[in-house]
Amino acid sequence: MRLPKKWMLVAFGLVALVLLAWMLGRLRGPVLPGYEVVAGPLVQNVVGTGRVLSPSRVQVRAEISGLVLERPVMDGDRVEAGDVLVVLRAEDLEARRDEARAALMALREAELPDARARLRQAQADLDQAQRTHARRRELAGQQLVARESVEQAAQAEVAARAAAEQARLAVEALAGGAREAQLRERLEAAEAELARAVVRAAGAGIVLSRHVEPGSTVVPGDLLLEIAADAPGEILVPLDEKNLGRLEPGQQAVCIADAFPDRPFPATVHHIAPGIDPARGTVDVRLLLDPEVDFLRQDMTVTATIRTGQRERALVVPNDALLDAAPGSQRAQALVLRGGRLERVPVQLGLRGLAMSEVLEGLEEGEQVVAAGALDAGDLPGDGSRARIRGEPLPDAGADRATRGEMPVQLD
């Protein structure tokens, strides 16, 4: 059965259109995955996982021997400066204090009053000796007494004066002198020694652990408690050593504790270790928390995103559009579609990350580049080949943030 001439013409036309389309497609080149070069604010981050550190762990140790009577604090308790931590029984120190106190009281209430009384008596005897000597001199001038009597009165006055001086020195030695000072120092030393039986917090902090219980016997040097002293906290983050050149003190970071993922908090890079851990190939970075974050606990796991670079406006391309881009190198190449043909263009890079990189030279905003990383080496077109670009969505920079120890570049 022969088809009508009309239908034959239609079929021929369709075949011709298909052939024409195929030929045009061949002339225009294959459709390749690619991206459009975009511009916008750019942020470079280094992301790592670390742990919370206490900048000061205070170990409270016994200074004297004794039996633990009380330990009023528990693990996790907050203490302030002066709070009682441990009470020890020290009977020998109490006895030494009481003995020193009794000796000082005896001096002040018995020895000193007696010495003052002897001084008054000696002064009275001296006054009497002076009057007697004066009368005898007067009588001797009238030749009523012998000269020997005057000499005896003079000797008696000298003896009385010496006795009064000796009594005065005895009072001075007891009242504020060397003897009283010695006894006061003895008492103060005994009281200071006894005060060590009540162990108090030197500063505010959180009790991390306790090592004694009531009834325990301790000797000087025994560990009683361990306290995390209040201070701006720190986070220790080990980062891959390849990020060392991008890190500087003072850089800002945003941290998230695994236990509180909905409560991000700020931190600042304040110390970068001078050496590299050879076993792990990492450098330790310390982040300072200021103000202190009240919900953090010692050794808690924290993810830190450190801002290491920022551009108000930058050209950005995905990394899989870059050719011959060695790690750490700032130079690469890209296949750019210009006038319907591919052109291999050298580009200079700026901030680099896992997914995106900044382009400083070689490309312009709005140009299309081939996603070379999505093609096999054999499928990669040559320079000057015709091609068309099928636009692909830009990589999600947020995924880079979950990569530990790496440096994503993200668009704000």
Looking at residue 136, what is its pLDDT?
75
Q: What percent of the chain has pLDDT over 90?
A: 15
Work out the average pLDDT over 133-147: 74
List Cα–Cα distances, 228 to 256, 271, 362, in angstroms: 21, 20, 55
Domain 48-54+231-308 part of CATH 3.40.50.1010 = no
Work out the average pLDDT over 174-200: 73
User: Taking 60 as the threshold, does the pLDDT of residue 20 lie above it?
Assistant: no
CATH number of 29-45+310-411: 2.40.420.20
Burial class, 77, CB count within 10 angstroms (exposed 0-12 / middle 13-18 / buried 19+): middle
Confidence (pTM) = 0.52
Domain 57-90+197-229 part of CATH 3.30.1360.70 = no
Looking at residue 284, what is its pLDDT?
94
Cα–Cα dist 331/326, whole Å: 8
pLDDT tens for 267-307 read 999 999 999 999 999 999 999 887 778 788 878 999 999 99
Looking at residue 1, what is its pLDDT?
47
Q: Are 335 and 343 in contact (CB under 8 A)?
A: yes
Handedness of CA 146, 147, 152, 156 (dihedral sign): positive
Q: What is the DSSP code string of 53-107?
A: E-S-EEEEE-SS-EEEEE----TT-EE-TT-EEEEEE-HHHHHHHHHHHHHHHHI
Q: Where are the alpha helices (DSSP H) in 107-230?
A: 112-141, 147-174, 178-195
Sorted by where each begins, the domain ranges of the chain are 29-45+310-411, 48-54+231-308, 57-90+197-229, 92-190
- Tell me the backbone φ, ψ of residue 369, rounded to 5 degrees: -125, 150
Q: What is the DSSP code string of 334-372?
A: EEEEETTEEEEEEEEEEEE-SSEEEEEES--TT-EEE-G
Looking at residue 326, what is its pLDDT?
75
**Band of the pLDDT at 250, cuts 50, 70, 90?**
very high
pLDDT tens for 44-76 read 888 999 998 866 778 889 888 888 888 999 988
Work out the average pLDDT over 21-50: 76
Q: Where are the alpha helices (DSSP H) in 266-338?
A: none
Nearest CA-CA partner of 356 in 412, 404, 301: 412
pLDDT tens for 339-369 read 888 888 899 988 877 778 889 998 888 898 8
